Structure 1
Amino acid sequence: MLTKNNLDICLNAIGDLKNIEPSKIKMEDKIFADLGFDSLSFLELIVTLEFEFDKEFDYLSHETDDFSVEVLVRKISEGQA
């Protein structure tokens, strides 16, 4: 379930890793193209989110498509169910 808390955690993690103010991150921003993640920093994001949610998100490490922040938050939220 998508919650404000899940959104805040994801935006804060992205912001911390990329030195971006979370309020400046748009839901339609692409993880790789717009926010500048590469494969290594994306794995770092996954590890950060796993720590924050106390849950493994291994399936995210296999993602190859450049998806939006909205899709990332939805995938994390669905993984929390």
Structure 2
Amino acid sequence: MSIPSFARINFQTLLRAAADGNLALMECLDAQSGNRRYVICAVGRDNGDYVFTPFGHLADGNPHDAYLPPAPDDPATFLRPDTQGEAS
């Protein structure tokens, strides 16, 4: 499975911001659920003002429980918790 161009570009921007020391962790509210989120932001400047560009939030609890990785034998599919390692 190929990672789309927008994700690659955003990741490169995030890496540059990290290398330059221009990352911030900002407390925000999720626009849909209203839950508190701790958001990783790149920090830039625009005409003397700070600009915070959100890239994602930190997972609550164990992040391994929040995401399903690609299956090792077929990267076009993902491991499912109910199949104990089988791809679906």
- Give the TM-score normalised by the residue count of structure 2: 0.28
The structure whose RCO (Cα within 8 Å, separation 6+) is larger is 1
TM-score (norm 1): 0.30
